[in-house]
Chains A and B, each alone.
Chain A
Amino acid sequence: MSKVTSLGHIGLAVKDMDKMLDFYTRILGMTETDRSERGVFLSAHPETEHHEVLLSHAPDRHTNAQQISFTVGSLDDLRDLYHAIRDYGCGPFRITNHGIAIGCYFRDPENNHVEVYWSTGMDYPQPHGEPIDLEASNDEILQALANMPPKEGSMPRYYGKDVGKRLRPAETSTRS
């Protein structure tokens, strides 16, 4: 049966293009792949996806997404990005342990609700969220994940190949 196979990209209405472009490329690290007078195409993996976010100049619109969420490669990267975003001046932050991910929520320069998140590699029924301190060590954060109690979900579990095993080795660091 024909079906969609994945989310590819989203469009985001932008008031101040220079400011938003600076934030999404310099702070979040996305690559500009194309542009016109009306918009700029951005991708976090430009070799495989032409664009994941299309910034469109539309001063009278606000996208008002419930969330726009980006993956990161490791727990260290999540922490580094959190610091970079904080130093840039965005806020307020909400840092949440979802079990399946540690999510860092904030408002981008035009008040869009954005999340950067690190997938923990374990399954946990959603929705679930509890505050967690990203300044804690990786060991402490992994321990907090390991200590999560079993929880009954609303659905048969789909996520992760080792559903029911709870914790598989997680990519915590990209540093040697």
Chain B
Amino acid sequence: MAKVTGLGHFGIFVRDMPKMVDFYTNVLGMTLTDRGEGDRIVFLSARPEEEHHEIALAKSEDQRTDAGQISFHVDSLQDLKALYRKVKDYGCQFDRIVNHGIAFGCYFRDPEDNRVEIYWSTGIDYPQPFGDPIDLEASDEELLKRIEDLPPREGTGPHYYGRDVGKRLPVAQKA
């Protein structure tokens, strides 16, 4: 059966295009791959060799996107910490920094108040939703221990995520 194979890109409405392009390229490190006349639309990709755009910024005076979250991967815990500081230094407000078990996520508002998450996938499976506040200024060892210390937890369904499902932190078995 035909099915979608992945989320490719997401388009958001933007008021101040230069400010948003600056933030997504200079702070988050995305690449500008194409732009429309008068910058009515700007295309951004974090992996431009594979995907032409992952974010489309569309200029609009009257429309506004209200996404629950727009979430981006980072490659390592070190990168998450470094990017967290960079976003903080830029002046963004953070509303949630949590251990999801499957990921450490850092939620903040971009310059036009979109709720953005940057997250590092821990590589373990853990039933969602789950969120436990963490301090990204803590050492890597302390933060990694937070994952090791997670108790088994029962989920709502069979788990698909990760190759080591059931190995490191098994979903609690029903009696």
Contact = CB atoms under 8 A, between A and B. Distances in A.
Interface residues of A, number: 73
Nearest to B29: A3
Interface in A45-67: 45-54, 56, 58, 61-67
Interface string A116-150: 11000000011100000000000000000000000
Given A1-B29, A3-B79, A7-B10, A65 B34 contact: no
Contact of A47 (B31, B60, B161): B161
Nearest to B78: A2
Nearest to A31: B160
A57 to B, nearest CB: 11
A43 B3 CA distance: 11
B104 interface: no
Interface string A3-20: 111111111110000000
B68 A11 contact: yes
A170 interface: no
Contact of A5 (B5, B46, B63, B163): B46
A111 interface: no
B7 A4 contact: no
B129 A32 contact: no
B8 A70 contact: yes
B83 A2 contact: yes
A64 B64 contact: yes
Contacts of A158: 31, 33, 45, 48-49, 52
B13 A66 contact: yes
Contacts, number: 234
B161 A50 contact: yes
B134 interface: no
A3 B80 CA distance: 9
A155 B3 contact: no
Contact of A33 (B8, B79, B160): B160
28 contacts: A2-B82, A5-B75, A6-B46, A6-B47, A8-B72, A9-B7, A11-B70, A29-B2, A29-B4, A33-B128, A45-B6, A46-B160, A49-B161, A52-B7, A54-B69, A63-B66, A64-B65, A66-B63, A69-B9, A69-B11, A71-B6, A72-B2, A73-B5, A80-B1, A126-B53, A154-B34, A159-B48, A161-B49
Top 10 closest A-B pairs, CB basis? A11-B68, A29-B3, A3-B29, A66-B11, A46-B160, A80-B2, A158-B48, A4-B72, A70-B4, A2-B82
Interface of A: 1-13, 28-36, 38-39, 41, 43-54, 56, 58, 61-73, 76-78, 80-81, 84, 100-101, 113, 116-117, 125-127, 153-155, 158-161
